[in-house]
Amino acid sequence: MITDTNTEQTDKIKSLLDTYPYLIRNEGNGSLVTAAKNIRIELARAFPGVKFRVRSRRYWMGNYINVGWTDGPTKKQVEEIIDKYEAGSFDGMTDLYTYESTAWTDAFGEAKYISANRSYTNAAVATVIERLKLEYGNTQAPTVEDYNQGLAWNTTPMNKHNGRVEQHWSWQSIINRTLDEYLVI
């Protein structure tokens, strides 16, 4: 059986446009700008009250969208929304970018690369440090300033292995992972 994939794609696009009437339709030539606008719309709906910085940029051979915010939702939660706007994927083994047209990107825009960058207030870092001090029963945790300056790599709340701190168990990495995993409000 032969199917008309163009008709299937058109039907999928129409269905998406009907399902998401609040998003801006991609008219083709402004795909990057349209994607950035739609990302702003979706993030505002998903995380009201969180201020996101959505920046798009064109460069020779491509474009990208960078999404930044402080505290609020986790990086994973934001990526669930923004990743569907990516135009394809890069394979570092072959040094090749492969474009993958989808009904979503045809309907609502795309960018070659999309990144999410979450930052944290000192209050969020302090809360996590206090939580970890209780969890590890260790009052010798680094200060917020130590963490911000990257000075917590050589100490650990755990036993040292062969007299040295394993990087993946340092205070710095444990604080990083804890911050990444928790919604901060």
Over the chain (185 residues), the average pLDDT of each successive run of 10 is 68 95 88 96 97 96 95 95 94 91 94 95 94 84 94 80 62 91 72
Question: What is the structure's pLDDT at 1?
Answer: 37
How big, in percent rounded to 5, are the helix, strand and coil portions of the chain?
Answer: 45, 20, 35
Domain range for 110: 5-119
Question: What is the structure's pLDDT at 21?
Answer: 97
- Whole-prediction pTM: 0.84
On whether both 53 and 132 belong to a single domain, the answer is no
Cα of 109 vs its chain's centroid, Å = 18
On whether both 169 and 85 belong to a single domain, the answer is no
On whether both 14 and 49 belong to a single domain, the answer is yes
On whether both 140 and 97 belong to a single domain, the answer is no
